[in-house]
Amino acid sequence: MSLVFAGLCSHAPGITARAERAPAELREPFFANFNIMRQQLEAAKPDALIVIAAEHFANFFMDNMPAYAMGAAPYYEGPIEDPDWLKIKRRKIPGNANLSFRLIKTIMQDIDLAYSEEWKCDHGIMVPLHFLTPNYDIDIIPVNINCQTAPFTPLKRAWAFGKALRKACDFVDERIAIVATGGISHWPATPNSGKINEAWDRDFLDKFARNDKTALLAYNDEAVYADAGQGGAEIRTFIALAGAVEGRKINIAFYAPIPIYAVGCTIAMVDLDES
């Protein structure tokens, strides 16, 4: 079965932890677009949702940091953060180990991929699920890309990973949805937390919306760090999604810098039915 839904959203913990502190004129349309994304995801009737997130030292650390990893368990647990702070209840999240291993086997024909039968979900996955699958009634397959510590996987490999993931989705019988999550410019856990480079974000999103492979892969880590902070490494999740829907334009449904959430908040979806 082919991919039935593809989209992207932000995952900053402040989106739930400090939800009410954002100005209403920004918060309300942002959450409204999360709701639209949820409705479109539900309408696609996926059997499983792959969430491409960024590693935040939740499952891997400096002594063992795979470039790409996929969960392969019957269920997952999250959030690892204090649920009272994140304002997301801790729970078991349904997985599908059999499907995960079938996807892994196909992806590994093109990209080396680590896997784990034990996986703790942090805000990078839990915030999107909170909005998109509030009843936790879809099998989840978590994927992490190392966006935390150098050496980072090259951007061209993030694109290739997305293509390999799409190939695997097309190979299985199940209906698959993909949601990539991450920030654009942000400086998390630093004195600059809350800083957002809106001009840089909008320029990146223009390239992302056009799915301009050449432009997206032309970024380099040194310039991204200087202009978009250490959180800018998460453009790899955006690029993986772009690779998965190569040739398709991406609709940016919402973007606004929301400093109290410490990131430029983004909602994007792909029309997979367009000619």
Question: For the segment 184-197, what is each residue's pLDDT rounded down to a tens digit?
Answer: 998 887 888 889 99
Question: For the segment 59-117, what is each residue's pLDDT rounded down to a tens digit?
Answer: 765 566 687 999 999 999 999 999 999 999 999 999 999 999 999 999 999 999 999 88
Residue 14 lies in a domain: yes
Residue 273 lies in a domain: no
SS3 178: strand
Residue 272 lies in a domain: no
Residue 228 lies in a domain: yes
Residue 190 lies in a domain: yes
Question: For the segment 6-65, what is each residue's pLDDT rounded down to a tens digit?
Answer: 999 999 999 999 999 999 999 999 999 999 999 999 999 999 999 999 876 567 655 666
CB atoms within 10 A of CB 38: 16
Please report, for the domain that includes residue 58, its CATH number.
3.40.830.10
The range of the structural domain enclosing residue 91 comes to 3-266
Residue 7 and residue 177: Cα distance in Å, rounded? 8
239: its two tokens: 């690029």
The count of domains in the chain is: 1
pTM: predicted TM-score of the whole model, two decimal places: 0.95
Residue 178 lies in a domain: yes
63: its two tokens: 């002594």
Residue 250 lies in a domain: yes
